Structure 1
Amino acid sequence: MSIDIEKYLQDIDPNNVCGDDLEYDPAFIALEQDIIGKPEQQIGDTIQEAEPPDWREIKKSAEALLARTRDLRILVYYLRALVALEGLTGLSEGLKLIDTLLAKRWEVLYPRLDPDDDNDPTERVNILMALCDHETMLRPLQLVDLVESKALGRFCFRDVMIASEKMTVSEGENAPKLGTIEAAVQDSDIVALQSNLASIVASTDSLNSLEDFVTKHVGINNAPNFDALRHLLKEFVHLLSGWLESRGVDDIEASPSEIESTSEITSKPQASQKSISGAINNSQDVINALKLICDYYKKNEPSSPVPLLLERAQRLVGKSFMDALMDIAPDGVSQASIIMGAKSEDE
């Protein structure tokens, strides 16, 4: 499946590009109810088990609403349905849609910014933070298939964590064996592993792009923090890269067109850049060096906070002082402008 993102970038109406606000529309209200699913109920002595959302219906309802409006809430519901139905591919395409549409329609997307409240972005930021909600996003992603063997079955990130004794198994749940998962990796389709890795890289690219865009518009103090989702995606990359290496495949060289990322933060270096040698002669060398350091920590010390700091440093490469200050501490820009202006007049 592939989302026609261009379709959602088109004006719904020339005079009302994002359509109407459907917050109180019966179809929107029904979607918000349906995505909750049905909780466990007790009727007399009978207990009716909880039922998960019908994700195919959720997807269908979200698409119908997006034909009438451009609403960030519906986009997030749509993303959740795509993850449930399409796994990593759905995550990649859903995040790209949110990133692209938000960048193009920031001023007019629903829910609207309130000009009477200094365009307070809190509602939008809270909606975006659902991307890091454990129950509705992170846990479902932990259950997405990462590897499939026709002989041994499918395994997800949670299976690996349980087999590695990094997670405890739920009551009544069978604990997978690490050896079984490793055997499944050896029996799996290499192209499928590469495709999964490519989807994760693309998802991280969109997530970083989305975070950067929103931060520039609302300031770093009000911006969403996607570290929880980003960390999980890094764990996925580390795991899949290791699996590909165990199959004798260099995931960087094997399929560069599939895993290439446009983001300097997430893109993998070319084979000739795997080690640092000689002098650093330009800003691209700096970016490559920082990337290699991040890769080291990701593979050898995945819990270290160092990559988070270095990734921010990568984004600052090539920026002017004022641009860097805007990224790090936007509240200090006005004071810096006054100081720099006063210095200029004295000179």
Structure 2
Amino acid sequence: MRDLSPYILAMDEACPCGPNLEYDSAFLALERLATPDEERGVGATVRQAQEPDWRDVARMAETLALRTRDLRVVLCLAQAWLALEALPAMADGLAVVQALLEQHWEHVHPCLDDGDPTERINALALLGADPGILGHLRRCTVIAIERVGVVTQRDLRTLAETASSTNDDDLHKTLREHVATVFGHAGHSRLQEIDAVAVRAIGHLEAIGQVFAMHTPGRGPDIEPCIRELGILRREVQAYLPMDNAQAPACVSPSPENEATDASPAGAVHRLPRSLDADEIRHRLDEICEWYAANEPASPVPVILRRARGLIGLDFTSLLQAIAPGGLTEFRSLAGED
């Protein structure tokens, strides 16, 4: 595990974050080096887009990060680490961002403009951008097993997107089998490590959001896309872990009251009490349907949930009549009823 303290600790008492190197030649060179070359035409030739040389970016950013405490430098470093080393390195980069904001809010570069965080928020826009941290996360390798295969975050995202689509049944089935094979060969301990890294990254992202919520309420970087992406990863990984060995589930995070913020798009989800009556279950289903109506109005989930709501409390015969009336006659014949 890399030592992050050289990029976080105060540089000196008088100037804890060091000088603003925004116009320094090394800073400008880093910005150019970290910017991807876009696809462009040269005469009849099309020059393909090219990724930066992330090893060079990492070396230059690490050197600059020792001279100044600047979020722009750290975001370049975090991108390079993620591109080179995948998820664990992403968590390291986010840890540096969090620490700089928490420990050096008044002095970290770019500084506040008379209390205005706009420039600082713009610097952190890379957290939710493609190209940026989000883009690299969506393309990163989650796990690679020699002679078995590779699973990427793109694979897991495609699984989530095709889960309810009848048009992509073959794609979903093929991809599901591939992921199951690779995860099956990985073993629980390896998957637990991946889940733990995702938990750590989500924690850093949420802490970054909380710093802005405390100092500049209502204004801050968009961290939700990254949290959602990590939530997709966690749900897929946890499907192959026994619950007693997994981290807190991606859909339910424990707290003293069994409630916390979830990494999934649905936001805060609570554990159900141990005993619920039928009316309480109906009420919970209504709340879920209301959430979908407000946040995902095109989703088919509420249709299914309302159907399930109408089945609560039915006995077996009534349930069969409701969902498969054609099978009721056969059941009565089997049961010896007239």
The percent identity for this pair of structures is 27
More off after superposition, 93-102 vs 44-53: 44-53
Aligned twin of 1:218: 216
Which residues of structure 2 form unaligned runs of 5+?
166-170, 261-267, 273-283, 296-338
What is the 5 A alignment of 1:327-338?
Answer: none
The offset of 1:164, in angstroms, is 6.6
The offset of 1:156, in angstroms, is 1.0
219, 240, 243: which is aligned to 2:240? 243
222, 228, 231: which is aligned to 2:228? 231
Aligned twin of 2:5: 6
274, 277, 285: which is aligned to 2:257? 285
Aligned twin of 2:116: 120
Q: Deviations over 1:167-203 (max 9, x none)?
A: 99xxxxx996432221122112332211110000011
CA distance in 2, matches of 1:211, 1:161: 24
CA distance in 2, matches of 1:210, 1:90: 17
CA distance in 2, matches of 1:123, 1:204: 24
More off after superposition, 64-73 vs 181-190: 181-190
- CA gap 1:235/1:122 in 2 versus in 1, 3 angstroms: same
CA distance in 1, matches of 2:160, 2:111: 46
CA distance in 1, matches of 2:47, 2:222: 38
| Counterpart residue identity of residue 254, structure 1 | N
What is the 5 A alignment of 1:178-197?
Answer: 178-197=176-195
| Counterpart residue identity of residue 238, structure 1 | R
The offset of 1:28, in angstroms, is 0.7
Work out whether residues 12 and 19 of structure 1, in 8 Å CA contact, stay in contact via their aligned partners in 2: yes
CA distance in 2, matches of 1:217, 1:266: 29
CA distance in 1, matches of 2:137, 2:292: 22
What is the 5 A alignment of 1:27-106?
Answer: 27-106=26-105
What is the 5 A alignment of 1:117-266?
Answer: 119-162=115-158, 166=162, 177-220=175-218, 222-244=219-241, 249-250=242-243, 253-254=244-245, 259=247
SS of residue in 2 equivalent to 1:147: strand
The offset of 1:157, in angstroms, is 2.4
Work out whether residues 62 and 75 of structure 1, in 8 Å CA contact, stay in contact via their aligned partners in 2: yes
Q: If you compute each CA radius of gyration, which structure gives the higher value, 1 or 2?
A: 2
The offset of 1:163, in angstroms, is 5.7
CA distance in 2, matches of 1:166, 1:223: 32
| Counterpart residue identity of residue 245, structure 2 | A
The offset of 1:141, in angstroms, is 0.9
- CA gap 1:139/1:10 in 2 versus in 1, 3 angstroms: closer
The offset of 1:267, in angstroms, is 8.7
Work out whether residues 198 and 260 of structure 1, in 8 Å CA contact, stay in contact via their aligned partners in 2: no
TM-score (norm 1): 0.67
Q: Deviations over 1:84-137 (max 9, x none)?
A: 11111011111111101111011011111123xxx1111111222321113322
- CA gap 1:235/1:165 in 2 versus in 1, 3 angstroms: closer
Aligned twin of 2:310: none
SS of residue in 2 equivalent to 1:146: strand
SS of residue in 2 equivalent to 1:196: helix
TM-score (norm 2): 0.69
CA distance in 1, matches of 2:203, 2:292: 19
- CA gap 1:157/1:49 in 2 versus in 1, 3 angstroms: same
SS of residue in 2 equivalent to 1:154: strand
CA distance in 1, matches of 2:133, 2:12: 32
Q: Does 1:110 align with 2:109?
A: yes
Q: Deviations over 1:201-220 (max 9, x none)?
A: 01111111111111110112
Aligned twin of 1:342: none
CA distance in 2, matches of 1:89, 1:122: 29
SS of residue in 1 equivalent to 2:67: coil
| Counterpart residue identity of residue 96, structure 1 | A
CA distance in 1, matches of 2:192, 2:151: 16
- CA gap 1:241/1:210 in 2 versus in 1, 3 angstroms: same
Aligned twin of 2:327: none
Aligned twin of 1:336: none
